[in-house]
Structure 1
Amino acid sequence: MPLLVAHAAAVWFCVGLVWVVQVLVYPGFAGIDRSAWTDWHDRHTRLMSWTVSAPWAVQGVTCAVLLVWRPDGVPFWAAALAGVCGAATVAVTVLVSVPCHQRLSAGYDDEVLARLVRTNWYRVVAWTAGGVVAIGMVLAAAG
């Protein structure tokens, strides 16, 4: 059960963070003074990396362990679905979000920001679904 609790805690930390980013942080980018944009964005990127790294790593490690070993009551399909949700967050981050942030680090761009906000919904959905699966696994093991 501690494995499932660690997994659920890490995933739900990321769920909360991605929702705050989606509804508050990314839309707020448009209001940043353009003369301070590059320094501000670089600071945001650096601090966000530090904020999400540990819980995201815990999510990944616990997903991997759950694919090999699961507490009684937790079906393989649930662990696999948790892995798919986690992999989706990685794929969207690496293939879409990071390139958007790299372009934004060179200078503010309305179109790039709009793409970042629009495509971040994929991460919101994947992490939220992963959070639901994590709670389901905890309940399955407790039941």
Structure 2
Amino acid sequence: MTFTIWELLKLLTDVGLVVLIWMVQLVIYPSFCHYEKSGFDRWHRIYMRNITFIVLPLMLGQLLLSGYLLFDSGFAIMNMIDFILVGSMWLSTALFYKPLHEELLKKQFDIPLCDKLTSTNWWRVVVWTVIMLLNII
């Protein structure tokens, strides 16, 4: 199988996000429940600031490349599915996960909220993994 440069760049962003989301799911989010209340607030603020430098370029690149490939393909069905899935990641991150992180900051520490973050995040793990797999086949 051969890829255009744009398809290869898209695949690289997909792989980057899949690796990142699996690390977040299996290592970072579960670790939230093991902090002391006094140190959690400071660490979580640092985490949110620093993870943005990794997540935002990957997500923005994925969105732009997905949109370009959708347009370039003449709106082929697989590209439409990809674009919708990528859009759902933007919406869920902006409307659900970012506010959940903000709530964790307000409460300064809350184990049920940490558990909710971890359990609901499987949605993003599955969707980003599907996006990557769809772009491999």
- On whether the aligned pair clears a TM of 0.5, the verdict is yes
Percentage of matched positions with identical amino acids: 24
- Alpha-carbon distance between aligned partners in 1 of 2:91 and 2:127, rounded to the nearest angstrom: 11
Letter in 2 for 1:39: R
Letter in 2 for 1:48: I
- Alpha-carbon distance between aligned partners in 1 of 2:59 and 2:72, rounded to the nearest angstrom: 20
TM-superposed deviation, 1:61: 0.4
The answer for unaligned runs of 5 or more in structure 1 is 137-143
Q: For residues 48-98 of structure 1, give each alpha carbon's deviation from its aligned partner in whole angstroms, at most 9, with x where no partner exists.
A: 111111111110001111111039xxx811111111221121121112111
Match of 2:133 in 1: 132
Match of 1:4 in 2: 7
Over 6 Å off, 4+ runs: none
Letter in 2 for 1:63: S
Letter in 2 for 1:18: I
C-alpha RMSD of the superposition: 1.4
Give TM-score, length-normalised by structure 2. Answer: 0.92
- Alpha-carbon distance between aligned partners in 1 of 2:51 and 2:92, rounded to the nearest angstrom: 16
Match of 2:20 in 1: 17
Q: Is the 8 A contact 1:92 1:122 kept in 2?
A: no
The answer for unaligned runs of 5 or more in structure 2 is none
Q: Is the 8 A contact 1:41 1:105 kept in 2?
A: yes
Instruction: Report how many residues are paired.
Output: 133
TM-superposed deviation, 1:119: 1.2
